[in-house]
Amino acid sequence: MNNPAIIRINPLDNVAIATAIGGIGKGDSVVSGIVAIEDIPMAHKIALCDVHPGDSIIRYGYKIGTANRFIPVGSWVQEQMLETPEAPSLDEIKYSAPIPNPVEQLQGFTFEGYRNEDGSVGTKNILGISMSVHCVAGFANHIITRIKNELLPSYPNVDDAIALSHTYGCGIAINAPAAIIPIRTLHNLARNPNLGGEILVLALGCEKLRPEKITGEEAESDILYMQDESLTGFEEMMQAALQMAERHLKKLNARKRETCPISDLIVGMQCGGSDAFSGISGNPVAGFAADLIVRAGGTVLFSEVTEVRDAVEQLVARAADEEVAAKLINEMKWYDDYLGRGNADRAANTTPGNKKGGLSNIVEKALGSVVKSGSMPIVDVVSPGDRIKKKGLQFVATPASDFVCGTLQLAAGMNLHVFITGRGTPYGLAMVPVIKISSNTKLASRWHDLIDFDAGPVASGEKTIEAMGWELFQLMLDIASGKKKVATDVLGLYNELALFNPGPLT
| Contact set for its own copies, span 367-406 (CB under 8 A) | 399-405
Asked if 14 and 57 count as a contact pair (C-beta separation under 8 A), the reply is yes
Residue 428 near residue 495, CB atoms below 8 Å: yes
Sheet holding 76-77, edge to edge: 6-7, 15-18, 45-47, 76-77
Strands (DSSP E) along 119-262, which ranges? Answer: 121-122, 126-131, 160-164, 199-203, 221-225, 258-261
Spatial separation of the C-alpha atoms in residues 366 and 361, rounded to whole Å:
9
Exposed, middle or buried by CB within 10 Å (0-12, 13-18, 19+), for 121?
Answer: buried
Nearer to its own copies, 101 or 232 (CB): 232
Do the strands 258-261 and 221-225 form a parallel or antiparallel pair, or are they unpaired?
unpaired
Nearer to its own copies, 196 or 428 (CB): 428
Binding-site string for its own copies from residue 51 to residue 80, where x marks contact by CB under 8 A and - marks none:
------------------------------
Binding mask 145-174 for its own copies (x = CB under 8 A): --------------------x-x--xxxx-
Residues 267-326 that bind its own copies (CB under 8 A): 272-273, 306
d(Cα 372, Cα 389) in Å, to the nearest integer? 22
Phi, psi of 297 (to 5 degrees): 100, 0
Exactly one of 151, 339, 355, 470 binds its own copies (CB under 8 A); that residue is 339
Binding segment toward its own copies, per CB under 8 A, in 92-100, 118-126, 151-159, 202-210: 202-210
Question: Which of 63, 134, 187, 365 touches its own copies by CB under 8 A?
Answer: 134
Out of 69, 247, 250, 448, which residue is the one contacting its own copies (CB under 8 A)? 448
* Cβ contacts of 460 within 8 Å, gap of 6 or more: 4, 19, 441
Among 9, 77, 203, 226, binds its own copies (CB under 8 A): 226
- Footprint of its own copies on residues 472-501 (CB under 8 A)? 488, 491-496, 498, 500
- Work out which of 446, 462, 483, 485 binds its own copies, going by CB under 8 A: 446
Residue 506 contacts its own copies per CB under 8 A? yes
* Count of residues near its own copies by CB under 8 A: 74
**Closer to its own copies at the Cβ: 100 or 342?**
342
Interface with its own copies, residue 98, by CB under 8 A: no
Residues 186/498, Cβ–Cβ less than 8 Å: no
Separation between Cα atoms, residue 172 and residue 166, nearest integer Å? 13
Q: In angstroms, what is the minimal distance from the CB of 504 to its own copies? A: 4
In whole angstroms, give the CA distance from residue 112 to residue 260.
Answer: 6
Q: Work out which of 148, 206, 333, 356 binds its own copies, going by CB under 8 A.
A: 206
**Smaller CB separation from its own copies, 403 or 473:** 403
- Letters for 12-41 (x = contact with its own copies by CB under 8 A, - = none) are ------------------------------
CA separation for the pair 417, 446 (Å, rounded): 22
